[in-house]
Structure 1
Amino acid sequence: MPQFFMNKRLIILLVSIIILVALIGFSLKERDQLSWPEQFIKDTTGWVQSAVSRPTHYVAGFFENLQDLQNTYTENKELKKRLDELARLESEVQMLKKDNKELKEILGKKDSLSEFEPKQATVIGRNPDRWNELLTINKGTKDGIVSDMAVITANGLIGKVKSAQPFTSTVQLLSSMDPTNRISAEIQGKEESYFGLIEGYDKDKGLLMLKRIPAEAKVEKGQNVISSGKGGVFPKNLPIGKVVEVAPAEYGLTQTAYIKPGANFYDIEHVMVVKRSALKPELEDMMDDKGEEL
């Protein structure tokens, strides 16, 4: 009996192999239509693959989208940083261009003031409560700065040194309402010049007031106003501004001219402090009674 079952199993195995080989050969043949077992297996396999692949693709796509979102966030953050840096650089470029222009203008003005002794300085402080009155510069007595020196920009006179410390100085602007802040000025006419004093500042109009002009003086709009040098403090011919309006003063004995400053009192960065050259005595004052040079 055992030998019979062994032979039977061997026969079944051989028949199974033959059938399998036949099926393989049959499936490898080119056919227009698959058999129903093959169709059933293929459909079942496809359904299982579809059921497994959809969640897999969904999960993979979810994590891929998260990665893309993370990359986008990082790129956006980097771009914002670059935009901030670009804005800062543009601001610095504008500031450097402005400083460069002002310094070039001041250098040109320095050449034109060769008969004086100009010293370049930079504004380092300004009180918001006294914006139109005082400012602080970075030069002081160590640099030869003393009180009452004229202070100008490339566009004109802005004020005088009110006080000087070793390393800094306080400048009083022409727009200061201090009643003692007076500057002798000259209106350049076509045929003759007229003199007066800069006294006060009209904040509403943004104009300097040149007072004590003779009533008969023919002052016209657009005439240039310069320092007269007659005050004994400021050099002569420092530009101040232009006449924009003339009105009779109180009692009609004198006139007041409203002057548009050449310099912008609101925006001041670079200035020059101008020292008046020593007055040279006349030659005859240097001779004694015998005609000999002293």
Structure 2
Amino acid sequence: MPQFFLNKRLIILLVSIIILVALIGFSINDREKLTLPEQFLRDSMGWVAGIFHYPANGLKDFFQDVNELKDTYKENEELKAKLEEYVELSVKVSTLEAENKELRNLLGKTESIRDYTPIQATVIARNPDRWHEILTLNRGSNHGIEANMAVITSEGLIGKIQDVSPFTSTVQLLSAPARTNRISAIIQGKDREKTLGVIEGYDNVREALLFKRIPYDADVQEGDIVISSGLGGVFPQELVIGTVLEVFPADDGLTKTAYVEPAANLYDINHVIVVDRTMVSDADTTGEEEVEEN
């Protein structure tokens, strides 16, 4: 009995091997159509592979996107740094160009001043509360600066030296509302007689200087140039002060007053020239004192 079962198992094993070999041989032959078991097995394997394929690809794409995002962030930071550097350099270049132009204009103005010693200076401080009144320069008495010297830019007259210390000095601007802030000036019209008057006061609303004591019959027109008269020996002669904007009767009814737009930008001042007049006569000094007293 045991021998029979042993032989039976052997026979089943041999038959299974024969069937397997037959199936293998059958499957490797070129056929146009697969058997149902083969179709089922292949579809099952494809379905299982598809289940794992899409999540795997999704995970792969996710990590790839993360890496690309990191690279993009890094490139963005580098571009921002370069952009900030570019903006900073552009600002420096613009500032240097403006400063270079201003210094060149000042150099031309220095060469055009006769009988005066120019002292170049830079604005180092300006009080926001008194922005239209005074500013501080980096030059003082040790550099030859004295009180009442005229101060100009490449555009025109801006004021005079008020206080002096060894290494710094303060400038009283034309727009300062001080009683003693007066300048003898001339209105220079085209093909017309010059009109003498005094720059005295500043209109904050119109942002214009007040040219007073104009004779009532004087022919003064809009656009006329206002220059310093040079009387008194303090302010140089023929320094541009501004342009006439409007003329109107004064309160006394005997003279006229004119609004004068300053030639120089009194708001934005960086480099200036302090003018030291080297040739001063007693007669000129007396004349300037008379103007201030009046």
Alpha-carbon distance in structure 1 between the residues aligned to 2:142 and 2:262: 30
* Alpha carbons 1:183, 1:231 under 8 Å: kept: no
* Alpha carbons 2:224, 2:244 under 8 Å: kept: yes
* Alpha carbons 1:136, 1:168 under 8 Å: kept: yes
Equivalent position of 1:181 in the other structure: 181
Equivalent position of 2:60 in the other structure: 60
Alpha-carbon distance in structure 1 between the residues aligned to 2:216 and 2:6: 147
Residue range with higher mean Cα deviation, 189-198 or 163-172: 189-198
Q: Which amino acid is 2:71 matched to? A: N
Deviation at 1:170, TM superposition (A): 0.7
Deviation at 1:18, TM superposition (A): 4.8
Deviation at 1:124, TM superposition (A): 1.6
* Alpha carbons 2:119, 2:274 under 8 Å: kept: yes
**Secondary structure of 2:171 counterpart:** strand
Pairing 1:96–2:96 present: yes
Alpha-carbon distance in structure 2 between the residues aligned to 1:21 and 1:167: 111
* Alpha carbons 1:164, 1:170 under 8 Å: kept: yes
Pairing 1:267–2:268 present: yes
Once the two structures are superposed, residues 167-215 of structure 1 have per-residue CA deviations (whole angstroms, 9 ceiling, x without a partner) of 2211110000001111111222434322221110111111111112233
Residue range with higher mean Cα deviation, 220-229 or 197-206: 220-229
**Secondary structure of 1:204 counterpart:** coil
Question: 1:26-105 residue pairs with structure 2 within 5 A?
Answer: 26-105=26-105
Deviation at 1:98, TM superposition (A): 2.1
Deviation at 1:129, TM superposition (A): 0.8
Alpha-carbon distance in structure 1 between the residues aligned to 2:244 and 2:119: 29
**Secondary structure of 1:46 counterpart:** helix
Residue range with higher mean Cα deviation, 95-104 or 8-17: 8-17
Change (3 A) 1:183 1:22: same
**Secondary structure of 1:75 counterpart:** helix
Once the two structures are superposed, residues 124-182 of structure 1 have per-residue CA deviations (whole angstroms, 9 ceiling, x without a partner) of 21111111101112222222222111111111000011112222211110000001111
Q: TM-score, normalised by structure 1?
A: 0.84
Change (3 A) 1:24 1:131: same
Once the two structures are superposed, residues 61-87 of structure 1 have per-residue CA deviations (whole angstroms, 9 ceiling, x without a partner) of 333333333333333344334433333
Alpha-carbon distance in structure 1 between the residues aligned to 2:138 and 2:2: 120
Change (3 A) 1:279 1:178: closer
Once the two structures are superposed, residues 209-252 of structure 1 have per-residue CA deviations (whole angstroms, 9 ceiling, x without a partner) of 11122333222222211111112211111111122222222322
CA RMSD of aligned residues (A): 2.6
Alpha-carbon distance in structure 2 between the residues aligned to 1:102 and 1:4: 121
Alpha-carbon distance in structure 1 between the residues aligned to 2:167 and 2:8: 119
Residue range with higher mean Cα deviation, 161-170 or 129-138: 161-170
Alpha-carbon distance in structure 1 between the residues aligned to 2:142 and 2:9: 120
Deviation at 1:41, TM superposition (A): 1.5
Pairing 1:278–2:279 present: yes
* Alpha carbons 1:201, 1:208 under 8 Å: kept: yes
Pairing 1:165–2:165 present: yes
Equivalent position of 2:286 in the other structure: none
Equivalent position of 2:238 in the other structure: 237
Question: 1:189-208 residue pairs with structure 2 within 5 A?
Answer: 189=189, 190-208=191-209
Question: 1:249-268 residue pairs with structure 2 within 5 A?
Answer: 249-268=250-269
Is there any run of 5+ residues in structure 1 with no aligned partner, and where? 282-294
How many residue pairs match? The answer is 281
**Secondary structure of 1:37 counterpart:** helix
Residue range with higher mean Cα deviation, 145-154 or 113-122: 113-122
**Secondary structure of 1:135 counterpart:** strand
Equivalent position of 1:292 in the other structure: none
Q: Which amino acid is 1:45 matched to? A: M
Deviation at 1:5, TM superposition (A): 8.2
Q: TM-score, normalised by structure 2?
A: 0.84
Pairing 1:218–2:219 present: yes
* Alpha carbons 1:244, 1:258 under 8 Å: kept: yes
Residue range with higher mean Cα deviation, 159-168 or 4-13: 4-13
Alpha-carbon distance in structure 2 between the residues aligned to 1:254 and 1:266: 30
Is there any run of 5+ residues in structure 2 with no aligned partner, and where? 283-294
* Alpha carbons 2:105, 2:154 under 8 Å: kept: yes
* Alpha carbons 2:230, 2:236 under 8 Å: kept: yes
Change (3 A) 1:8 1:117: farther
